[in-house]
Amino acid sequence: MWAQGDYAALAREVIPELGASLVEACDLRPGQRVLDVAAGTGNAAIPAALTGADVVASDLTPELLKAGQAVAAQRGAHLNWEVADAEAMPFKDAEFDVVMSCVGVMFAPNHQAAADELVRVTRSGGTIALLNWTPEGFIGQMFATMKPYAPPPPPGAQPPPRWGDPDHVKALFGDRVEDFTATHRTVRIDRFKTPEEFRDYFKAFYGPTIAVYRNIADAPERVAELDEALAALARSHLGEEGMDWEYLLVTARKI
């Protein structure tokens, strides 16, 4: 799914500041071992590497990592790129000082398995930091809008925006972390001038939206319904200065 469209362009053109916001929350220092889980094209991993940290960017989709390598080269960032499943990572226990994810690990189907891996690879006293879309925010509402038109999820899969619920994330980590903080923030999106421009951009660039439209491609009336539903959603959020998309920033320390 994530190899469809052009997520590298979306990360660069629509949400470039999110990765830097997550890195700032991590308070990275040169030489720290950092893992970016479900890193995509390196929206957080690249700015992390530019701090002087020793960074590994991991993702299940090789196409995204390849695109990220090109971006890193342009920005002069040096880091390692590894194909890895967030639910079963090939890294040692307690290998990293900081483990982070920017709207990435939230898309792993089994939330508990992914959370267990985040904790496992973090050293005692190390930081776990996550930036995830909230259920009630714009992207969470977009996924709810697309859900009736989407293919059935894998057995046991949980909705990605639940990672934007502080209580859900805290329950996933349980008593294995301390100093748990969760802050709701928004990012201003001024890339789209009309609701239809937003919809058509996501239809062309965003893997999850592309997958939903492919699922209903043989039903023109349903395509038209979803077209209008996504435009209506954007219309309800779009003002003269753009849209505000809510996310949850979580930081915690492994015990």
Average pLDDT per 10 consecutive residues for the chain, totaling 255 residues: 87 94 96 97 97 98 95 97 98 98 97 98 98 98 97 91 98 98 97 97 96 97 98 96 97 98
To the nearest 10°, report the CA torsion of 43, 140, 126, 180: 150
pTM of the predicted model as reported, rounded to 2 decimal places: 0.95
Q: How far apart are CA 4 and CA 63, in angstroms?
A: 9
Q: Please report, for the chain, the start and end positions of each structural domain, with discontinuous segments joined by +.
A: 7-135+151-190+244-254
For residue 208, the model assigns a pLDDT of 96
Whole-number Å distance between alpha carbons of 32 and 54 = 6
**Two tokens, residue 69:** 């390598």
pLDDT at 19: 97
Give the model's pLDDT for residue 1.
Answer: 81
Q: What is the separation of C-alpha 111 from the centre of its chain, rounded to a whole number of angstroms?
A: 14
Distance CA(120)–CA(99), nearest Å, equals 10
Phi and psi dihedrals of 194, rounded to 5?
A: -135, 155
Distance CA 129, CA 101 (A): 7
CATH code reported for the domain at 7-135+151-190+244-254 = 3.40.50.150
Spatial separation of the C-alpha atoms in residues 251 and 109, rounded to whole Å: 21
DSSP assignment letter at 173: H
What radius of gyration, in Å, describes the C-alpha atoms of the chain?
Answer: 18
